[in-house]
Chains A and B, each alone.
Chain A
Amino acid sequence: MSATETGPPPRAEGSGDREPVLSARGLRVVLRGARGGTARAVDGVDLDLARGEIVALVGESGCGKTTLARTLLGLERPAAGAVVFEGRPLDRSARGLRAYRRRVQLVQQDPTGSLNPRRTVHESVAEGLRIHEGTTADEVGRVCRALSLAGLRPPERFLSRYPHELSGGQRQRVVIAGALVLEPEVLVADEPVASLDASVRGEILRLLLDLRADLGLSALVATHDLGLAWNIADRVAVMYLGRVVETGRTEDVLSDPSHPYTRALLSALPGRGGRPAPLPGEPPDPRRVPPGCRFHPRCPALASGRAAAVAERCRAEDPAVLAASGPLHRAACHLGPEEGRAGRALRTGGA
């Protein structure tokens, strides 16, 4: 099938056995700027996260991946659409959110900032426990267990330390331990390794994989780093200007990209040997989403004339919202996958 179809695409082919645990349904979020303007940070996203699955949400800064992550946690109120958890729309009452946030946890970008400098590791990790259960008798045991799960061993050694006495990697482990202590089902991580050193990066990513294997944790990881997606994600959703523009299994999307934006992202990666071919110009501005296909002003396929046949539609017609669920490889591009990828057949994984 081609993603240029307008109606809602058939859902979850070949993955009928995997019920999504967390989904975004037609999610739109409008942020108010400091000077009164509004930004369509998330502009129609359909996304499913199955149990035990790791999905990477890939895009440049300003593409809305952080806002989407925050909205999934109920930290931002959607203008339209819904966050669906275990088949039910998110209950936005104070009680509902509290119960929800026990089961879905956030890991932020900057581990140094996400720990209160005045609190010890013990207090920071126990914070979630104290919010939901108050101070319990087995608190230290549970904090220690979470710390060891996060790879801080022996945990007793870290309890009374302050964040400034830890390395960047250790701080991120403390943040992860603070999320694990509540035994969540879903982890939403926003650039979990962007501020970490090279050797620590791999360690933290391996930790995410181990947690999935040992605890069956699902994870949605927002990142600008395609290497991270390649390292840990089962599926990738590429975001551009508030919309998922390509989705599918990591192997399919990253080895055989279909959307011109994904291909530009891949070609900009350093260390591939060949000459990188980045898109010229600046990252797009969510306050001014172009009409038609939101990528058309920067689209290399349109610029080179390869998309001449559909140029009118590119300028005038917004491609339909993609359903980022299941292993099917889809792209929101008026160019069919064949033209988009210079004649190669579209592989649909798992089918």
Chain B
Amino acid sequence: MTPLLDVRDLHVTYRSGSGEVPAVRGVDLSLDPGASLGLAGESGSGKSTAALALLRLLPAGTRTRGRVLLEGEDVLTMRWGRLRAVRWAGAAIVFQGAMHALNPVRRVGDQIAEPLLVHRTVPARRAPARVAELLEQVGLPASRARDHPHQLSGGQRQRVMIAMALACEPRLVVADEATTALDVMIQAQILDLLRRLVAERGIGMLMISHDLGVLADTCDRLAVMYAGRIVEEGPARKVVDEPAHPYAAALGAAFPRVGDPASRLAPRGLPGDPPDPAAPPPGCVFRPRCPVAETMCATVDPPLLPVEPRESGGPPRRAACVHAGPARPTTGEGVR
């Protein structure tokens, strides 16, 4: 099966006043239809930049290298007309700030119908019925179409955003911190909705968040980014439960599991700041903050390599850490 999304060696460089700032430095991703991939990392790790690069939504003056194949077509070299079509029908993004992404003076039904009418996916007289159908899919009563955004709660607005993203039946949905600003209860509802859409409609979903717990619940596979690179990638549960990379371990420990005695009265964070992307440290970029760094880490920049010998048919798992190479099949235990 050809993957829905195949990203190869993606590099994104911002141009700032003082020079070039590499934000994404060689990222490979692959996503099958009906599957979901989580992209984790702190702000500044490049995860959102990578997601925006998939649809060429980055500001002018940004340099993007590599290949982004969406159903075999390279988005990065696509002509404008084709790209426009792809942005609606091929892939859609759900952003975090549902408050600002909706036009406050227009009814939500009209806003959902807009892409339908612009792209002539349905005739104008059928649009209201389609809007009602979409609202129902995201768990809102069809009567909400007549409301203005301010009449909706945060969770309802996020549902409207998802309905808008689904309007043109995209094959890929990118959810960029789509639940971060929401309360636990509403977050669980939205995650449930996204999971259902992936399972029932065969949509591929790329979900971006800094909360590993959210991603572990929602995604099949998980990639952890640090300083513009993927440092660990594998089946979501495994990456969260037995992280091979110390950064993935730290990120996972930041959100404790309630009931886990190890984290009771023992919050765990990660001292230090992410490296300056304009001047990353030599060797492993994580070394300055790494609790298990050795002398060799200052010189060796570890590539993303398989963690354990791949069992027959088992999904591959890779990490970029000298402690997690095939030569030393220890997993997260050593670095926790």
Q: Do chains A and B touch in the complex (CB under 8 A)?
A: yes
Q: Is B186 among interface residues, defined by CB-CB distance under 8 A?
A: yes
Interface residues of B in 118-154 (CB under 8 A from A): 153-154
- Of A203, A225, A227, A276, the residue contacting B270 (CB under 8 A) is A203
Q: Please state if A198 and B183 are interface contacts (CB–CB under 8 Å).
A: no
Return chain B residues, CB-CB under 8 Å to A254.
258-259
Complex alpha-carbon distance, A163 and B19, angstroms: 23
- Of A198, A250, A251, the residue contacting B255 (CB under 8 A) is A198
Q: Is A288 among interface residues, defined by CB-CB distance under 8 A?
A: no
Minimal beta-carbon separation of A301 from chain B (angstroms): 16
Return chain B residues, CB-CB under 8 Å to A229.
258
Query: Closest chain A residue to B270 by CB distance?
Result: A199
Q: Please state if B185 and A60 are interface contacts (CB–CB under 8 Å).
A: yes
Q: Is A303 among interface residues, defined by CB-CB distance under 8 A?
A: no
Return chain B residues, CB-CB under 8 Å to A168.
43
Complex alpha-carbon distance, A61 and B240, angstroms: 28
Q: Is A135 among interface residues, defined by CB-CB distance under 8 A?
A: no
Q: Please state if A199 and B153 are interface contacts (CB–CB under 8 Å).
A: no
Q: Is B328 among interface residues, defined by CB-CB distance under 8 A?
A: no
Looking at chain A's contact residues, the main secondary structure is helix
Q: Please state if A271 and B185 are interface contacts (CB–CB under 8 Å).
A: no
Given contacts A230-B259, A254-B259, contact A279 B185 (CB under 8 A): yes
Given contacts A227-B256, A266-B258, contact A167 B273 (CB under 8 A): yes
Q: Is A282 among interface residues, defined by CB-CB distance under 8 A?
A: yes
Q: Is B212 among interface residues, defined by CB-CB distance under 8 A?
A: yes
Given contacts A270-B188, A271-B212, A276-B192, contact A203 B183 (CB under 8 A): no
A-B contact count (CB 8 A): 133
Q: Is B191 among interface residues, defined by CB-CB distance under 8 A?
A: yes
Minimal beta-carbon separation of A59 from chain B (angstroms): 9
Given contacts A60-B185, A270-B187, A283-B153, contact A206 B267 (CB under 8 A): yes
Complex alpha-carbon distance, A225 and B257, angstroms: 11
Given contacts A268-B185, A283-B185, contact A278 B269 (CB under 8 A): no
Complex alpha-carbon distance, A200 and B42, angstroms: 9
Given A206-B269, A276-B191, A278-B184; 20 other pairs, CB 8 A cutoff: A61-B183, A168-B43, A197-B210, A198-B255, A199-B269, A201-B269, A202-B254, A203-B271, A205-B267, A224-B184, A231-B265, A254-B259, A264-B185, A265-B185, A268-B188, A270-B214, A270-B217, A270-B218, A273-B237, A278-B185
| A interface residues with partner B (beta carbon < 8 Å) | 60-61, 167-169, 197-206, 209, 224-227, 229-232, 250-251, 254-255, 264-266, 268-273, 276, 278-280, 282-283
List the 5 closest A-B pairs by CB distance, nearest first: A271-B213, A202-B269, A199-B270, A205-B267, A203-B269
What are 14 contact pairs spanning A and B, CB under 8 A? A197-B43, A197-B210, A198-B210, A201-B267, A202-B270, A203-B270, A229-B258, A230-B259, A231-B265, A269-B184, A270-B214, A272-B258, A273-B237, A278-B189
